[in-house]
Amino acid sequence: MQDLSNYRKSYEKSELLETNIPEDPINLFNRWFHEVEDFGGNEEVNAMTVATIGLDGFPKSRVVLLKKFTEEGFIFYTNYNSEKGKAIANNPNVCLSFFWHNMERQVIIKGIAQKTTEIISDNYFDSRPEGSKLGAIVSNQSEVVPSRSFLEENLKKLENEFESMVIPRPEHWGGYLVVPFEVEFWQGRANRLHDRIRYTSQENYAWKIERLSP
């Protein structure tokens, strides 16, 4: 047993004030993303946690990589037959979260996940290294397998099968666009009086901006 009650850190690297934020959360996300990237210290700035409600009724979170963000929302790719894919098919309400420790920042995004177009999925799949393409085909993601060697042997078979050939995107693999309706930005501050700004989508497509108590 280890008591962590004495773990302490004072957050003092930045601030988040209503006087210096845009009306649109995507613009603020873009600013923060590049500030974190420029500051350094995060190997994968685009690593995010995706939380879904599973078919068993339990929430489940896992880290995936954000591959694109636009005014529409946030895009990541996965196997549609995976546990997360089945969860999204059953309940498209998801939560994305980023924790950028080097800048003492978090972003929490509630949104609705929907499949991207086949063209978007095809274009991204075509940009991947061949090994990653074959991995997407060989892996029945989230399914039980007998051993590591089982996967490696199947991968070797596919390497031989597709040698000098174009590797097609499997129908069960593609992108999700998460369209946000609530985005919260959290900036660590001294004395645990953290800055929390929440954007909530309105019916007129504007965003309501509110400060939350830490």
- Residue 183 is assigned to a structural domain of this protein: yes
How many structural domains compose the chain? Answer: 1
- The residue among 38, 36, 19, 192 whose CA lies nearest residue 107 is 36
Q: What is the mean pLDDT of residues 14-30?
A: 95
Establish if 152 belongs to a structural domain: no
Helix H or strand E segment including 180? strand 173-187
Q: Identify whether 60 is part of a domain.
A: yes
In a domain, 123, yes or no: yes
Contacts 24+ apart (CB under 8 A), 147-151: none
- CATH code, domain carrying 92: 2.30.110.10
- Domain around 53: 18-129+172-212
Tokens of 85: 């894919």
Q: Is residue 67 part of a domain?
A: yes
Whether 31 sits among the annotated catalytic residues: the reply is no
Amino acid 31: pLDDT: 97
Q: Please report the pLDDT score of residue 18 as a whole number.
A: 94
**Residue 154 falls within a domain, yes or no?**
no
Mean predicted lDDT score pLDDT of the chain: 93
Q: What is the pLDDT, as a whole number, of residue 13?
A: 82
* pLDDT tier, 67 (very low <50, low <70, confident <90, very high otherwise): very high
How many percent of the chain have pLDDT more than 90? 78
Whether the predicted pLDDT of 4 surpasses 70: no
pLDDT 10s digits, 148-172: 998 889 889 888 988 888 999 999 9
pLDDT tens digits for 119-138? 999 999 999 999 999 989 98
- Classify residue 78: in a domain, yes or no: yes
pLDDT at 3: 67
Question: Of 214 and 143, which is predicted with more confidence?
Answer: 214
167 or 5, which is more confident? 167
CA angle 190, 195, 72 (to 5 degrees): 145
Residue 134 lies in a domain: no
From the candidates 8, 62, 192, 198, give the one annotated as an active-site residue. Answer: 192
pTM as predicted: 0.91
